[in-house]
Amino acid sequence: MTGEERVAAGPARTPVPQPAAGPVLADTADLALAPREGPRRGVWRQAASDFARNPVGVIGVATIVVMLLFSFVGPLFYHTDQVHPNLLEITQPPGARHPLGTDNVGYDVLGRLMVAGQSSLEVGLAAAVIAGLVGTFWGAVAGFAGGWVDSVMMRFVDALLAIPSLLLVLLLAAIVTPSILMVIMVLGAISWLTTARLVRGEVLVLRSLDYVRAAEGFGETPRQIVFRHIVRNVIGTVAVQVTFEVANAILLFSALSFLGLGPPPPAANWGGMLTDGLNYVFDGYWWLIYPAGLLIVMTVVAFNLAGDALRDVFEVRLRSR
Amino acid sequence: MTRYLVRRIGQAIAVLFIVSMVVFAILHFLPGSPARAMLGIRATPAAIRQFNAANGYNRPLPVQYLLYLDRLAHGNLGFSYHYDQSVGSLLTLDLPKSALLVGASYVLSLIIAIPMGIVQALRRNSSLDHALTGFSFVGYAMPTFWLGILLLVGFSATLHLFPPEGPQGASVMAALGDPAGLVLPVATLTIVTVAQFSRFMRSSAIDVLLQDYIRTARAKGASRWQMVTHHVLRNSLLPIITLVGLSLPGVLSGAIVVEALFNYPGMGWLFWTAAGAHDFPVLMGFTIVVAAATVVGNLLADVAYAVADPRIRYQAS
């Protein structure tokens, strides 16, 4: 893949150059789209073992698992009150009672990081899956329909891509009442654009291939062809892109919350925790500034690493054909 | 070339048209009505009717859309209820300050990222390459505001080198008069952008290094330096032209966060406060302007690319 293609393939907000993955199957994400019949099992197992051989990808996936355990299982063992402020214990430094100190209304920071992680991860994963589904559908229809339908649909994508994503998110967040569900919807509504572009590009190639022509010859309807042949073959590309979109959505969500337009307290998320920490930059309260930011960076890096490794799996398998 | 230009400009106009429709649609899908959004929940029905009549909101939607386009075409971006000013005048005041921030960050990013990517490509898989790749990977994953906070802690709170706040002047000249205040905002935006550009530059330079003409140049006895300046730099810069156009929305997103964090009164700061105050005319007007800037930026980048690279011209025509 050349640098030119990479630049042309994706907008600036995607973390890494775009994949040219082909007819392959993903071993993570988008299980709803996965084919069900038996013989493909071998392909899946092969993909999984290819992936396991890539140390960078394994580190990424391991970090994601650790983050999920920390956020969802952690609170089962480490009980803290993350709803009622405790003004007697505000901005305590880390100590025996509070391993990572307390924040400006007395919430235990370690416990809050766990609860905040839940919403940050939920938003990232859900928004990316929605974006994957919408983008696949949009791109497949546009690429398959061709002609003016394709032009109009893709100009629509261009138009939304021309608006900075944070601008769109702020605009939509100012309209709706911020709740986790609404944030997921808003982020999902703007994150599908790159997926749509990639899927359309692949569909344009796929529809000229012999077996799709043959299916047309056998009298399959366009809808059958899209769902049986096209969607299945672009799952690899989509899975890679969805993994990157999780990272993007987590970043956007944290920016949105940092700017004060996320879900209001006592709901917690990593970006929002940093807003509170900002007031204490000059007081040296490091426990309000470093932990939440580090968790965001680690999670985003982990999803980007996993996405890179996933793409390598697909490219290796393409080459071996 | 002409045909390529015409097609490309046609596309840009279509995209701008759709942007205007999207923004118009968002304004009209506001919960309740625009009147409720502007006048508040406690507005009386009479006040709402009067507002609707005065602003043309009682007319059919297609007519309203055409009137909206007409206003846009005349440069009327709407009126801010929060600031009691026309959006256009707010924009003339604040846009240049954002342009200064974004422009300075772009220039610095290119100055740093281009040599960085080329060095990485020349020393591919060396420890230097891995270290710089690690830097851009983390830089990319870093939320812009967190990077800004870290710089604040380091250079403002601990070392007391730079003020924690951007220049507060009303004009660009006033902002330029406080260069120390500009350092941290520009540095934040630059680091994030370098992380992104250097990755593209590295892969672009690696592609060029694998070309036959590089081998020919080496065989003809070109020194390493000649090879880099004559062949690698020129050819690997081509994709960067497109990247500069494509990255504009992302950099502007970063500018919103940076301006909010450093309290720098530019367009992003205004957009942020407008979002908090539900000042929709400002949000809409700025969205349109920024989208137009992006579309024009992409158009210029594509044209520049076609000028710089004959292959694009011939393929397109």
pLDDT digits (tens, 9 = 90+) for B191-209: 989 988 888 888 888 888 8
Please count the residue pairs, one from chain A and one from chain B, whose beta carbons lie less than 8 angstroms apart: 189
- What does the DSSP 8-state code read for residue A108? B
* Residues B70-92: tens digit of each pLDDT: 888 888 888 887 788 888 888 88
Q: What is the pLDDT of residue B42?
A: 79
Chain A residues within an 8 Å CB radius of B280: 174
Chain A residues within an 8 Å CB radius of B200: 3, 6-7, 17
Q: What is the pLDDT of residue A26?
A: 41
- How far apart, in whole angstroms, are the C-alpha atoms of residue B203 and residue B207? 6
| Backbone conformation region of residue B6, classed left if phi is above 0, alpha if psi is from -120 to 50, else beta | alpha
Chain B residues within an 8 Å CB radius of A296: 141, 143, 146
- How far apart, in whole angstroms, are the C-alpha atoms of residue B216 and residue B294? 40
Min Cα separation A41/chain B (Å): 34
pLDDT average, residue stretch B52-67: 80
Query: CA nearest A13 in B: which residue?
Result: B250
Q: Which pLDDT tens digits describe chain A residue by residue (321 residues)?
A: 333 333 333 333 334 444 444 444 444 444 444 444 444 556 677 777 777 778 888 899 999 999 999 988 888 888 887 777 777 777 777 877 878 778 777 788 888 889 888 999 999 999 999 999 999 889 888 888 878 888 888 888 988 888 888 888 888 877 777 788 888 988 888 889 989 988 888 888 887 788 888 888 888 887 788 777 777 778 888 888 899 999 999 999 988 888 888 888 788 888 888 887 787 877 778 888 888 889 999 999 999 989 888 888 776 555 444
Q: What is the pLDDT of residue B191?
A: 92
Q: What is the pLDDT of residue A317?
A: 53
The answer, for B306 touching chain A at a CB cutoff of 8 Å, is: no
Residue type at A289? I
Min Cα separation A308/chain B (Å): 11
Q: What is the pLDDT of residue A6?
A: 34
Structure token digits, residue B198: 């250097």
Which residue from B141, B157, B294 is facing A282, i.e. has the nearest CB? B157
pLDDT average, residue stretch B141-160: 85
Strands (DSSP E) found in A46-99 = none
| B54 contact partners, CB below 8 Å, separation of at least 6 | none
H or E element: which one contains A32? none
Phi, psi of B267 (to 5 degrees): -65, -40
- What does the DSSP 8-state code read for residue A94? S
CB atoms inside a 10 Å sphere around CB A178: 18
* Residues B239-282: tens digit of each pLDDT: 788 888 788 888 888 888 898 888 888 888 888 888 877 777 88
Q: Is the previous residue joined to A266 through a cis bond, with omega within 30 degrees of 0?
A: yes
Chain B residues within an 8 Å CB radius of A273: none
Query: CA nearest A168 in B: which residue?
Result: B287
Interface mutation vs chain A, best among B145, B155, B197, B283, most A CBs within 10 Å: B145
The answer, for A297 touching chain B at a CB cutoff of 8 Å, is: yes
Min Cα separation A74/chain B (Å): 24
Tokens 């600036």 found at: A12
- How far apart, in whole angstroms, are the C-alpha atoms of residue B189 and residue B106? 9
| Of A312, A33, A251, A41, residue with least CA distance to B145 | A251
Length of chain B: 317
* Cβ–Cβ gap A173/B287 under 8 Å: no
Query: CA nearest A18 in B: which residue?
Result: B200
Which residue from A12, A260, A289 is facing B196, i.e. has the nearest CB? A12
The answer, for B312 touching chain A at a CB cutoff of 8 Å, is: no
* Cβ–Cβ gap B143/A260 under 8 Å: no
Residue type at A142? A
**Residue B139 near residue B194 (C-beta atoms within 8 A):** yes
Q: What is the pLDDT of residue A122?
A: 92
Q: What is the pLDDT of residue B34?
A: 64
Chain A residues within an 8 Å CB radius of B236: 3
Strands (DSSP E) found in chain B = 79-80, 85-86
* Cβ–Cβ gap B290/A301 under 8 Å: no
Phi, psi of A6 (to 5 degrees): -60, -45
Q: What is the pLDDT of residue A12?
A: 37
